[in-house]
A and B are shown apart, each in its own frame.
Chain A
């Protein structure tokens, strides 16, 4: 247990020291590369804004991700259960996923003028639902027929088979996709906040750092984003352990 905490903490310290040393050794000005010792004061100076904007970014990311889970699972179910629907929906989804979301930002901003929260959530959702839909559909369509037969032979309904077997069996794939999606949703939120600034979120703080040539602030935002990203990712890992821990056969040894 101690080892589990100590190893990453020491690694982080070493990384920070190396960074500090590199900036000092190369005599880089802070507009080229801020050092950890510049970033600390930047955090302190704007700590109230970091909490406020960090919260904006966090809740909008989570809202977008939840929307992606609902829509992605629903689409995945449709594609996993019916071959026809899969053939119909798949090309559309692939095409939609291929559109760089940066190009969608101004479109959304024009569509829903002033609805910043909604725009941000929508981008986070759009960028992150695809892996969930694909993994759920693959999980459902690759269910061995015997799994279905053991319950169908007892007269169980399709819904019972789905609830008792298909759904839990797909959970490991679902969480695998969710780990990808949580990072994507986070990118989506920041994309909106930076490309279409509207005075909220860490993306906005980054943008104002840029405008005011406050380079340590920009780096501090990057670090804050990394911390939030780690938090979100490990929240998903925790949920995976709770709901799909059985799939990790190593842990049971």
Chain B
């Protein structure tokens, strides 16, 4: 599979984009709504005008129309053709590229096996569930062996459980096929779970590109920090190894149990979204559980950001707004937090 390279790419929504996606890499384009993520995918696929250059394996693609670029594209709304059955949808690209009948049959069987969608062959898109539509759309996009695969927030309209399952399944399929892919999302969690590397896009500019760990713990610039939500960084005074892959770190009077990989422990980080917050004392042992007072409660889009003061230290926690409202969490109220063990990182 080829690499993708963007050189000085500009258009109405993108400014001076320079980046490379390595052969077989899964790069996640992360950014808020209106950041230019979909526009960038449309540029790579040649669907819209742009200045600069897009290269597949070092060769410029300018002058090659979309239908000959060899790009697989999974659209946000999936856009399965409503008048075609699942089989015809999947084989559409093969027929357009004039494959032989036997080759089409063989490829269809192979894809239906790997996606486990044999039973859907004769159905029309209107009769499919959300998850089934995703699988069919992916099968259609990868059927003609595209050079690169572009996925535009394909899990947007699905429930959380299906999304989580499909994220794992899609990543597995993409890695098995060794496809060079760009996956667009506005969800940090989705980006962390899917990405080999993450590129953060904001107002048409590429703000940062790096491993999920780099992006998460070392966000560059205010735009990225604002969007990602800065993690809680806890300075450690000392630590002792517990065994079983765990370490107990002393951070300003708080003893925190953290997964341990053998390095020295100076700082610990955890995302506000991974801090459990409740007004009731949580059941279970006292490990990684702390009591404090909510000093700030600020709404941020679909979530509420709380700052909880514990002694002389402040910890940020984020909850979906509906959950925060159901608990009636307010400033000045006593609250309990849990730092989720597997979400704590040693820096």
Task: State whether these chains interact.
Answer: no
